[in-house]
Amino acid sequence: MLRGVYAPSDFPPFAVTVDLVVLTVRADALCALLVRRGEAPFLGRWALPGGFVQVAESVDAAAGRELVEETGVAGLHLEQLATYGEPRRDPRMRVVSVAYLALAPDLPVPVAGTDAAAAAWVPVSEVSSLAFDHSRILADGVERARAKLEYSSLGTAFCGGEFTVAELRRVYEIVWGVGLDPRNFHRKVTGVEGFLVPTGGTTSRDGGRPAALYRRGEVGVLSPPLVRSSA
Amino acid sequence: MLRGVYAPSDFPPFAVTVDLVVLTVRADALCALLVRRGEAPFLGRWALPGGFVQVAESVDAAAGRELVEETGVAGLHLEQLATYGEPRRDPRMRVVSVAYLALAPDLPVPVAGTDAAAAAWVPVSEVSSLAFDHSRILADGVERARAKLEYSSLGTAFCGGEFTVAELRRVYEIVWGVGLDPRNFHRKVTGVEGFLVPTGGTTSRDGGRPAALYRRGEVGVLSPPLVRSSA
DNA sequence: ACAATAGTGTCTGTCAGACAATATTTC
DNA sequence: GAAATATTGTCTGACAGACACTATTGT
């Protein structure tokens, strides 16, 4: 720590944690991954998954490590959300938390973490008060996801490797809470060059013409953007 | 610090700093506020202004405090940019830095900070390699500013309290590095309800019809956005 | 055939970009 | 008046929203 070179008051010690807002679309609702705390403070309360950043790893790496630990899946979309550093946000000590937003397709079942008593997918509309300032962080994450759907290909991160236009449209409808015209949505997303890549396959479901399957294209920015509007 | 309650390995100590990307438009260029480092490491190199977060203040408050110290002005636009936490980004010890983006009108002259040998407004196009990972942070800040001009009223933060449509247009042209049609720009910004509020006053400059003066309106989101396009 | 979903074509209002025209100042 | 800048008006092409219509499956 090189004590002696700098006065200790120059760099008061902080703990640095990462907190994850992991969102998915399941059961016709936008859901967040929550864990029930197994230790004080806020024992028994729901909280965002997360943990301490280790000495030798980057903050981004810590977030990726926690995400794999909690979901059991690698390769999910992960981006930094914001950093929360109010002095009293953790009653134990001075903790600065770097929050991340992750998007996942409908995963089988949450994995109970080491320090979490239980984990569950909870519809964001039913989330009540979380531990620490996690309600605020969750709200910021949801708003970020809603906003980024408009001008990025983020919506495909909620789908699996192959998906239909209708499945992608359901994602938008559920995340935004609006209805979208199937015809216009189809024309829009298939019209943007490089956004969706047809795989050639088709689905065969109950009743109705089979739909073409697509996978995420290389284009990450939608210009012009999709617009959030009711229908 | 409550040692004994948790194993020390649970929360390895970090130093937390704030770094500021302070941008302004002056002399027909987008400029950033830089300081020349007065101590090791990177002695004599240009760097972003910033400093350690104190124990009792929030991270946001630390950024606001540093901004006032460096510019001598209060009330500037200030928003969190991102957090940088690579293990070796500071050779002294493990430092996590929360970067902020601030926008200022053309200020008189930079104030030399306590630990900075000099401060200056440097056109971002002429900035070479900065200390630490500050080149990356500056690039991220500039890109954030450019992107947010499209869909927010952020451009007005570069202007003083009262400004003309032409002055605002110059801001967009310089930040984006493109030419904009004065007629279409005028129609666009005055057409968005609540974006600009006419003060009633007019300018009297050399040659040309006086322009109406405006101040920033309440509307912070531009919908539909202005689009970055050449002219 | 009918229901259901997928996908295409057409119409229309809105808006951005191009640019002509007018207004108000200084020299 | 000429030059310069501000502001308004007009035209046109592109595109979003509404919605009729065609296509392809299961029952």
Average pLDDT over residues A24-28: 93
Range with lowest mean pLDDT among A36-40, A58-62, A165-169? A36-40
Residues of chain A with C-beta less than 8 angstroms from the C-beta of B90: none
Quote the minimal CA–CA distance from A24 to chain B in Å. Answer: 24
Judged against a pLDDT cut of 50, whether residue B230 lies above it is answered with no
Quote the minimal CA–CA distance from B11 to chain A in Å. Answer: 5
pLDDT at B160: 87
- What nucleotides of chain D have any atom within 7 angstroms of a protein Cβ? 3-10, 15-21, 23-27
Judged against a pLDDT cut of 90, whether residue A9 lies above it is answered with no
For residue A102, count CB atoms less than 10 angstroms from its CB and return exposed for 0-12, middle for 13-18, buried for 19 or more. Answer: buried
pLDDT at A115: 56
Report d(CA B62, CA A87) in Å as an integer: 11
B152 touches chain A (CB under 8 A): no
Report d(CA B24, CA B30) in Å as an integer: 6
pLDDT band at A231 (very low <50, low <70, confident <90, very high): very low
Judged against a pLDDT cut of 90, whether residue B224 lies above it is answered with no
Judged against a pLDDT cut of 60, whether residue B231 lies above it is answered with no
Read off the DSSP letter of residue B114.
Answer: T
Nearest to A222 by CA among A160, A149, A144: A149
pLDDT at A201: 76
Could you tell me what percent of chain B has a pLDDT over 90?
71
Nearest to A103 by CA among A133, A135, A75: A75
For residue A161, count CB atoms less than 10 angstroms from its CB and return exposed for 0-12, middle for 13-18, buried for 19 or more. Answer: exposed
Judged against a pLDDT cut of 70, whether residue A166 lies above it is answered with yes
- What nucleotides of chain C have any atom within 7 angstroms of a protein Cβ? 3-10, 15-21, 23-27
pLDDT band at A179 (very low <50, low <70, confident <90, very high): very high
Of A5, A14, A83, the CB nearest to B80: A83
**Model pLDDT for residues B171-195, shown as the tens digit of each residue:** 999 999 999 999 999 999 999 888 9
Of the spans A86-90, B147-151, B201-205, which averages the highest pLDDT?
Answer: A86-90
pLDDT band at B110 (very low <50, low <70, confident <90, very high): low
Residue A175: helix, strand or coil by DSSP? helix
Which nucleotide across the nucleic acid strands is nearest to B169, CA versus C1'? D6
Average pLDDT over residues B71-81: 95
Best to test chain B binding among A16, A90, A95 (most B CBs inside 10 Å) = A16
Is this structure's pTM higher than 0.85?
A: yes
Of B1, B2, B83, the CB nearest to A80: B83
For residue A160, count CB atoms less than 10 angstroms from its CB and return exposed for 0-12, middle for 13-18, buried for 19 or more. Answer: exposed
Of the spans A186-190, A223-227, B135-139, which averages the highest pLDDT?
Answer: B135-139
More confident site: A206 or B85? B85
More confident site: B181 or A6? B181
- Yes or no: say if A20 and A59 are a contact pair by the CB < 8 Å rule: no
B55 touches chain A (CB under 8 A): yes
Helix and strand numbers, DSSP H then E, in chain A: 4, 9
pLDDT at A3: 40
Q: Which of residues 8-27 of B touch A (CB under 8 A)?
A: 10-16
Quote the minimal CA–CA distance from A95 to chain B in Å. Answer: 9
Judged against a pLDDT cut of 70, whether residue B63 lies above it is answered with yes
Average pLDDT over residues A156-172: 94
pLDDT at B4: 40
DSSP assignment of B135-191: HHHHHHHHHHHHHHHHHBGGGGGGS-SSB-HHHHHHHHHHHHTS---HHHHHHHHHH
- Residue B34 sits at the vertex; the CA angle it makes with B24 and B97, to the nearest 5 degrees, is 105
Report d(CA B17, CA B85) in Å as an integer: 11
| Chain-chain contact of A94 with B55 (C-beta, under 8 angstroms) | yes
Q: Which domains does chain A have, with CATH numbers?
A: 8-129 (3.90.79.10), 151-216 (1.10.10.10)
Of B11, B58, B92, the CB nearest to A2: B92
